[in-house]
Structure 1
Amino acid sequence: MSEWVEVVIRSFGILIGLFLITKLLGKKQLSKLSFFEYIAGITIGNIAGTLSMDLRLNMANGISSILVWLLFPLVLSLLSLKSKTVRDFVEGKSTVFIKNGKIMEDNLKKEQYSADELLEQLRRKNIFRVADVEFALLEPTGEITALLKREKQPLTVGDIIKNSASIKEPQTVMMDGSILDEPLSTIGLNRGWLKEELDKIGVTPENVFLAQVDSFGQLTVDLYDDKVQVPPPVTLKLLQASIKKCEADFELFALQTESQAAKEMYMKNAEKIREIENKVKPYLEG
């Protein structure tokens, strides 16, 4: 057998093996890997690369070495899931860098962190003043997490509207011109509704690259042809217009009726609708 053929066969086999190893190790991002997992990954890659190119190496010995480097991190990972002591030993503990707005200089020295490095990490989180930070940790992954002081935290909908409605994730109902039935059924819709909505904006399913439905039932589409302008969703605007019309109708009925009791009833209902409109306005205009 020619050397280049053997290299191709060995490389192809090792590629399949590395793919299976990656699946076994799970879906952790590189930044979430422990130090040992990171080292094990590099070592496995080096062994695999050398094994595929150096024909003098015994394939069985190389695979045995890879299996050892694979199984040891897997065993440690399983033990870490069951024992916090093992987890702290393998992955390390978080270190407090800022507490009650005060920098912990001793902890910085312990982790060999300079003030410049701390400031750099905070700037990456759009924090430019240490005085704005209430609490900050150095995570085992090397990332800094920070909690801003209450008065420095951004305003949220929950701060303005108590018990505000939750917003669910948008569902992708079309991709590459094909309708996806499962996401449609998840939100209680069907192909008939989708085709009706596409007809309203003058679009055929074949021209749709991607289509999504948000938690308010609005359909947004992206077409293959970027030159074609698609009208924006109008579901929420129509709902807002309907609410305003109801309010106006009650006020009109109040003006037209001669009964004082009926007039008060209509005005009272108009006021209730106005209160409802004010509550849902942030969502309708969002």
Structure 2
Amino acid sequence: MPGWLEIVMRALSAMIMLIVITRILGKKQISQLTFLEFVIGITLGELVGFISTDVESNFWYGVISLLVWFIVPLGLEYLALKSKKIRGWLEGSGRVMIKEGKVLEDNLKKERVSADELLEQLRSKSVFNLADVEFAVMETNGDLSILLKRDKQPLTPRDMNMKLVNEVEPQTVIMDGEYLDEPLATIGLSRGWLNTELEKIGVTVDNVFLGQVDAYQQLYVDLYDDKLKVPAPQGKALVYATLKKSQADLELFAMSTRDPAAKQLFEQTSRELTGVIQSLQPMLQN
């Protein structure tokens, strides 16, 4: 076998093995790594490079070494899931860096973090004033988790006694100019409905890069041609306006009629519809 062909075969085999191994080991290999995951990632990369290019070495010896570095970490991960002690030994534990607004200098030294690095981590979390921090922990992956003081935390709807509804995941129904039938079926819609909505905004499916439908059956599209402008969905606004108009009509009917029974019925229905509008307002005006 020619030397170049052997290298190609070795590289392809090693690449396939590395992809399979990293998929099995999990997504943490490509996110914030712990110390052990960092060491494993470097070693696997070195072994794959060695297997791919060192034609004078035995290919299967490299494969065996790669399998050892795959099986042992995989076994350790399963053990870590079962035992907190093993998890702490392998991955370490978080360390408190700021407590009750005070920097713990001894813990900074233990983690070998300087004051400049601590401030840099705070700025990366959009915290520029140390006095705003109530609690901060250095996680095992080196990231800093921060709890702001109560008066420095962002205002939430709960603080303002606002009623909100749970959001439902939007479904992507068009991707790369093609229909996605499964998400459409999930929300009980069809291509016919989708084509009708596209006609309303004057675009064709071929020009849609991404299209999503929310829980209120409103279609949002992103077009290949960014110069084209499409109207914003008005489904919720239309429903809200229709309800308000109906409530106003009931009040008008109550004032116009001379029949006491009809007047009472109109007024009662108007009050009930007002309650419905108030309960739906967080959804329809969100």
What CA deviation, in whole Å up to 9, does each residue of 1:70-94 have, x standing for no partner? 1111111111011111001000101
Matches within 5 A, 1:119-138: 119-138=119-138
Contact 1:137 1:146 (8 Å CA) reproduced? yes
Question: What is the root-mean-square deviation in Å for CA atoms of aligned residues?
Answer: 2.2
What CA deviation, in whole Å up to 9, does each residue of 1:245-274 have, x standing for no partner? 012112211321235675465455545544
Shift of 1:161: 4.4
Contact 1:31 1:141 (8 Å CA) reproduced? no
Distance 2:160 2:129 in 1: 26
Secondary structure at the counterpart of residue 136 of structure 1 = strand
Partner of 1:185: 185
Shift of 1:228: 2.7
TM-score normalised to structure 2 length:
0.90
Question: Are residues 108 and 268 of structure 1, via their aligned partners in 2, closer, same or farther at CA, if it must alter by over 3 Å?
Answer: farther
Range with greater deviation from structure 2 (275-284 or 224-233): 275-284
Partner of 2:47: 47
What CA deviation, in whole Å up to 9, does each residue of 1:35-84 have, x standing for no partner? 11211111121122122222221112211211111111111111101111
Structure 1: state its 5+ residue gaps. none
Alignment of 1:30 onto 2:41? no
Matches within 5 A, 1:96-135: 96-135=96-135
Tell me the amino acid that sits aligned with residue 169 of structure 1: E
Partner of 2:223: 223
Tell me the amino acid that sits aligned with residue 170 of structure 1: P
Question: Are residues 11 and 124 of structure 1, via their aligned partners in 2, closer, same or farther at CA, if it must alter by over 3 Å?
Answer: same
Range with greater deviation from structure 2 (76-85 or 60-69): 60-69
Shift of 1:150: 2.2
Question: Are residues 29 and 8 of structure 1, via their aligned partners in 2, closer, same or farther at CA, if it must alter by over 3 Å?
Answer: closer
Partner of 1:70: 70
Matched residues, number: 286
Partner of 2:19: 19
Structure 2: state its 5+ residue gaps. none
Distance 2:254 2:103 in 1: 65
Distance 1:186 1:254 in 2: 43
Matches within 5 A, 1:131-150: 131-150=131-150
Tell me the amino acid that sits aligned with residue 200 of structure 1: K
What CA deviation, in whole Å up to 9, does each residue of 1:223-243 have, x standing for no partner? 233333222111011012112
Partner of 2:155: 155
Partner of 1:284: 284
**How many percent of aligned residue pairs carry the same amino acid?**
51
Question: Are residues 188 and 274 of structure 1, via their aligned partners in 2, closer, same or farther at CA, if it must alter by over 3 Å?
Answer: same
Distance 2:61 2:165 in 1: 60
Moved beyond 6 Å, runs of 4+: none
Contact 2:94 2:138 (8 Å CA) reproduced? yes
Distance 1:129 1:261 in 2: 66
Distance 1:272 1:154 in 2: 36
Secondary structure at the counterpart of residue 229 of structure 1 = coil
Distance 2:118 2:57 in 1: 47
Partner of 2:238: 238
Question: Are residues 86 and 66 of structure 1, via their aligned partners in 2, closer, same or farther at CA, if it must alter by over 3 Å?
Answer: same
TM-score normalised to structure 1 length:
0.90
Distance 1:154 1:173 in 2: 34
Contact 1:95 1:138 (8 Å CA) reproduced? yes
